[in-house]
Amino acid sequence: MPSPLLGRTLDGKFRLDEVVGAGSMGTVFRATQLTLSKTVAIKVMKKEFAKEANYASRFKREAKAASRLDHINSVRVVDFGDDDGLLYIAMEYLNGRDLLTILSKEWPLSTSRIIDLMSQTLAALAVAHEMGIVHRDLKPENVMVLRTKDDEGHEVELVKVCDFGVAKLLPDRKGADGEDVQSATATGTLTATGMLIGTPEYMSPEQVSGLDLDERTDIYSLGVILFQLLTRCLPFEDKSAIKLAMRQIGEEPRRPSALTPGIDAKLEAICLRAMNKAPEDRFAGAREMRAELRAIHGAKESATHAARSPLPPVSRRIVPPNGEPSGDDAALSKAATVLASHPPSAADRANAETIAAPSSKDVPDVEIPAATGTLAAGELAMPPAPRVTVTQPSAQQLQMRKRRMWLAGFAIVVAVGLLLAFAR
Ligand SMILES: Nc1ncnc2c1ncn2[C@@H]1O[C@H](COP(=O)(O)OP(=O)(O)OP(=O)(O)O)[C@@H](O)[C@H]1O
Ligand SMILES: [Mg+2]
């Protein structure tokens, strides 16, 4: 993408090498931080905004606040500045894809992947909120996903939330009488009471109403993103930004499961709670929402673990005959029920079967008890593995066996000898 700024060095520090994207507020470049010979991303704000009164000072204030954010799931702001009227913000360069691209190319996403992506986004939000920073423009385009490896070398996805605070920093617009006026943006017509406006499809009722905002506006936007991850659809769509805003305020969203049958019921409940019209009916904060999501994930994990772990010894019955499970047994049977509603992948099955089925050559004596209780075949999405106990004969038993064989042999020889004697 051509830009007259290509090749220019900002403040003697950052050389603009390539345009990587453009949004409604400015252009993003791949750039080189000259002192460190390091690749960074630079967002240069549109020049027209910089001319507005107070804009530059507010931009710097927001950029400074964003630069204090230091969390693995938020994009790191390395610098910001004003080079002869060009306001810019320098960030870590992200070699990944945004959530919108993932949605359009890879939907449907598995429940565990959705939970993972949302949990990471919420982790970034929790820290930002604690520092008093509200994002105000959460949308899939502002959630970047990178592929990387964890400590053990497994491929994982790493979320980076972009544009904290500065995504929709708009000029103060006052009418002749000093009243706020409506301002039109590329994404919609919304109030410009102060400074920040968002993308109407993801905006909370209080945001489209121009009311004071707190972190719960981000929870609403995240509810919309979760809705989209589950269904590929937006809860509300309209060509008119005003009508869309009205729907955000007054219309209840459809149930995600009405659009995509089979959605995890708890995940759907979390999505709808985040999207409640009144902020006090949503999650109180990002940590609470994250904990709810991870509880679903935890239940799935423990169920999978139960299926993968070596089975307990035969004496540890899971359900007493004609009785209710109790204690550990109750937890196991609960895990089995969760597993039933989240069938394991082919890889999980292969894994579980490898652990649970040693070859008969390896085990001299095998007892296979009858299937018991709630872990019986019908309840699990995979066949129950036989439980195996290995009983090695002791040296004494072997001696006894040998003696018995000798006696039997001796008895046979005597019997044959007597028969022959009688026959003569
Ligand atoms: N830190 C970064 N590293 C690499 N690429 C980035 C980075 N930040 C943004 N981009 C790319 O630049 C594009 C434009 O980003 P920008 O924030 O300007 O617009 P947007 O978020 O898509 O929309 P809007 O301006 O309406 O909020 C993004 O789609 C993304 O692909
Ligand atoms: Mg952005």
Measured in degrees and rounded to the nearest 5, phi and psi for residue 14 equal -125, 120
Active site residue 137: yes
Q: Output the pLDDT for position 235.
A: 97
Ligand having the closest approach to the CA of 89: 1
pLDDT at 403: 66
Mutate to test the pocket of ligand 1, among 138, 141, 145 (most ligand atoms within 8 A of CB): 141
Do residue 160 and residue 185 come from a single domain? yes
- Which of the residues in the chain have pLDDT under 50? 171-196, 305-393
Point out the ligand nearest to the CA of residue 41: 1
Residues 213 and 355 in one domain: no
Q: Who lines ligand 1 at CB under 6 A?
A: 20-26, 28, 41, 43, 75, 91, 93-94, 98, 137, 141-142, 162-163, 167, 187
Domain of residue 371, residue span: 312-388
Spatial distance between the Cα atoms of 17 and 254, rounded to a whole number of angstroms? 45
In this structure, what are the phi and psi dihedrals at residue 30, rounded to the nearest 5 degrees? -80, 135
Q: Tell me which of 305, 325, 344 is where a domain ends.
A: 305
Question: Does the residue 281 lie in any domain?
Answer: yes
Q: How far is the CA of 418 from the centre of ligand 2 (A)?
A: 102
Q: Identify whether residues 169 and 316 lie together within a single domain.
A: no
Helix (H) or strand (E) holding 225: helix 216-231
pLDDT of residue 416: 60
- Ligand 2 centroid to Cα of residue 102, in Å, is 16
Q: What SS3 class is residue 222? A: helix
pTM for the whole thing? Answer: 0.68
Cα separation of 213 and 286, whole Å?
15
pLDDT of residue 329: 32
Q: Is residue 93 part of a domain?
A: yes
What pairs with residue 43 in β-bridges? 28, 89
Which residue is closest in CA terms to ligand 1's atom 23? 23
Return all residues near 31 (Cβ < 8 A) that are at least 6 apart. 10, 14, 15, 16, 17, 39, 40, 41, 42, 90
Pocket test for ligand 1, best of 28, 137, 187, 202 (most atoms within 8 A of CB): 28
| Å from CA of 236 to ligand 2 middle | 21
What per-residue confidence (pLDDT) applies to 41?
97
Q: Give the DSSP per-residue string, 77-122.
A: EEEEEEETTEEEEEEE---SEEHHHHHHHHPSPPHHHHHHHHHHHH
Candidates 137, 163, 264, 329; catalytic one: 137
Q: Which of 267, 288, 305 is the last residue of a domain?
A: 305
Boundary residue ending a domain (305, 333, 352): 305
Examine the domain organization and report whether 251 and 366 are in the same domain: no
pLDDT tens string 351-374 = 332 223 333 333 333 232 332 222
What's residue 50's pLDDT?
75
Q: Residue 209 is part of a domain; what is its CATH number?
A: 1.10.510.10
Which residue's CA lies nearest to atom 28 of ligand 1? 21
Instruction: Please indicate, yes or no, whether residues 236 and 382 belong to a single structural domain of this protein.
Output: no
- Give residue 299 CA to ligand 1 midpoint distance, Å: 36
414 within a domain of the structure (yes/no): no
The residue type at 14: F
**What is the domain count for the chain?**
2
My answer on whether 237 and 297 are in the same domain is yes
In this structure, the residue with its CA closest to atom 30 of ligand 1 is 21
Pick the atom of ligand 1 nearest to 160's CA.
Answer: 1
Q: Which ligand is nearest to the CA of 20?
A: 1
CB 103 within 8 A of CB 207: no
- The residue whose CB lies within 8 Å of the most ligand 1 atoms, and thus the one to mutate among 1, 17, 20, 138, is 20
